[in-house]
Homo-oligomer: A and B are copies of this chain.
Amino acid sequence: MPSHNLKQGPVTLYAQLANILRDRIHTGVWRQDDPVPTLDELTEEFSLARVTVRQAIQLLVQEGLLSSHRGKRTYVTWKAPEMSDQPIFSSIGSIDDTPETYTVDRLEYDEFDQLPPRLLEEGLDAGPYVRIRKRDLYKGIPYACSETYVRLALYRQFPPGGETVSKITRLVRDATRPRQITGSELIRVSMPTEDESQQLQCLQTAPVARISRVLLDADKTVALFGNYTYREREFCLTRDITGLLRE
């Protein structure tokens, strides 16, 4: 076990300790329904003040990783995500099958003559575009917020109010069909801005995944450009690398 030598810095001591304990949960060292060590044990292990350890535990309780009931032991409540080719992060996997557990809120619309500067620079700008800012929820809990630019000519082909119940990527795909649409994504890790941490109801100490997505029409014009921010716990991408191994 590495020796921990926590120091004051940009992140408070209790948040640093929470990071270490969160990691034990996410990597399966502490598993669902396991009791976690007592305050005394953690105080001793990390050579920290009892109040600091208590704050770290409270942070993980707030995040829904640990249970806490006065006078009872603390248990791990977080369950490792199921292996799946269609993790919650991907609105692609489920675009043909928008379940009732999926809802959208806080839609905002703006119109732009051109696309903003973007990391994913593929394709030709073909404005005007509608920008839709929104929040996606699963069973009422926000898991992603996004801004999506849709070419106005395509947006006008959406069924009325379609974007309030369906994934925008799906609507764009359907509006361009049967033309040859292509798409790519760029995935990075980052920290939430204050606005995002409020929208996602996550803490600013919890990282996020950022996905940029571009869909190109047959003529290489940008049909959709979107920036999506996913909560740490809701982001989990699995991929088959067999092809890469056999190249």
A residues within 8 Å of B by Cβ? 2, 4-6, 9-12, 14-16, 18-20, 22-23, 26-29, 31, 59, 80-81, 83, 90, 92-93, 95-96, 116-122, 169, 173, 181-195, 203-210, 213, 215, 227, 232, 235-242, 244-247
Contacts of A213 in B (CB 8 A): 241
Q: Which of B10, B209, B215 lies in contact with A205, CB distance below 8 A?
A: B10
The reply to whether A22 and B120 contact each other, CB–CB distance below 8 Å, is no
- With A11-B10, A122-B83 in contact, is A245–B189 under 8 Å at CB? no
The reply to whether B187 and A207 contact each other, CB–CB distance below 8 Å, is no
20 sample A-B contacts, Cβ–Cβ < 8 Å, listed by A number: A10-B59, A10-B205, A11-B205, A19-B190, A19-B204, A26-B188, A81-B119, A83-B120, A83-B186, A181-B246, A182-B245, A184-B242, A186-B237, A186-B238, A188-B232, A188-B235, A188-B236, A190-B207, A207-B208, A215-B245
In the complex, A6 Cα to B198 Cα: how many Å? Answer: 11
In the complex, A190 Cα to B23 Cα: how many Å? Answer: 8
- With A12-B10, A185-B238, A244-B93 in contact, is A2–B193 under 8 Å at CB? yes
The reply to whether A92 and B11 contact each other, CB–CB distance below 8 Å, is no
Contacts of A208 in B (CB 8 A): 189, 207
Contacts of A236 in B (CB 8 A): 186-188
Contacts of A195 in B (CB 8 A): 2, 4
- The oligomer's copy count stands at 2
Contacts of A187 in B (CB 8 A): 187, 236-239
A234 to B: closest C-beta gap in Å: 10
- With A80-B119, A185-B241 in contact, is A16–B93 under 8 Å at CB? no
The reply to whether B117 and A29 contact each other, CB–CB distance below 8 Å, is yes
**Supplied contacts A20-B193, A27-B119, A190-B232, 8 more A-B pairs, CB within 8 Å:** A10-B11, A10-B59, A26-B210, A27-B117, A81-B119, A92-B244, A184-B238, A186-B238
Contacts of A227 in B (CB 8 A): 27
- With A186-B238, A188-B26, A189-B209 in contact, is A204–B121 under 8 Å at CB? no
The reply to whether B29 and A191 contact each other, CB–CB distance below 8 Å, is no
Most buried by B among A20, A122, A204, A235: A204
- With A204-B10, A245-B215 in contact, is A5–B194 under 8 Å at CB? yes
